[in-house]
Structure 1
Amino acid sequence: MNIRQLEYFLTVAERRSMTLAATILGIAQPTLTKTVRALELELGVKLFERMPRGVELTPYGQSLLRHAEAIKVQFGDAKNEIESLRGGKVGTVTIGAGPAWLRRLLPAAVAKAAAKNPSIRVRIEGGFDDALLRALRHGEVDLVVAELPASDAARDLRMQPLSTDRLGVCCRKDHELTGRRNLAAPELLKYPWAMPPETTRAHQRLKALFTAMDLPPPKAVVETDSLAFLLQMARFSDALTFTVSTTLKLPEAVDLVMLKVPELDAFRSAGIITRKDGWLSPAAEAIVEELVAICEREPTN
Structure 2
Amino acid sequence: MNKLKTKAENLHAFFAPKSVAVVGATKKINKAGHVIFKNFVENKRRGVFKGEVFPVNPHEDSILGFQCYPSVTKIPVDLELVVVVVPAEIVPEIMEDAASKRVKAVVIISSGFSEIGNHELENKVLSIAKKAGIRILGPNCLGVYDSKTGVDMLFLPETKILTTGEEVIATPRPMPGNIAMVTQSGAFGVAALDYLTGRQIGVSKFVSFGNKCDVDEAEMLHYLLHDEETRVILLYIEDIKSGREFIKIAKEVAKKKPIVALKAGRTKAGARAAASHTGAL
TM-score by length of 1: 0.25
Higher relative contact order (Cα pairs below 8 Å, separated by 6+ residues): 1
* Largest Rg, 1 or 2: 1
Structure in which a larger fraction of residues adopt helix: 1
Return the TM-score normalized by structure 2. Answer: 0.26
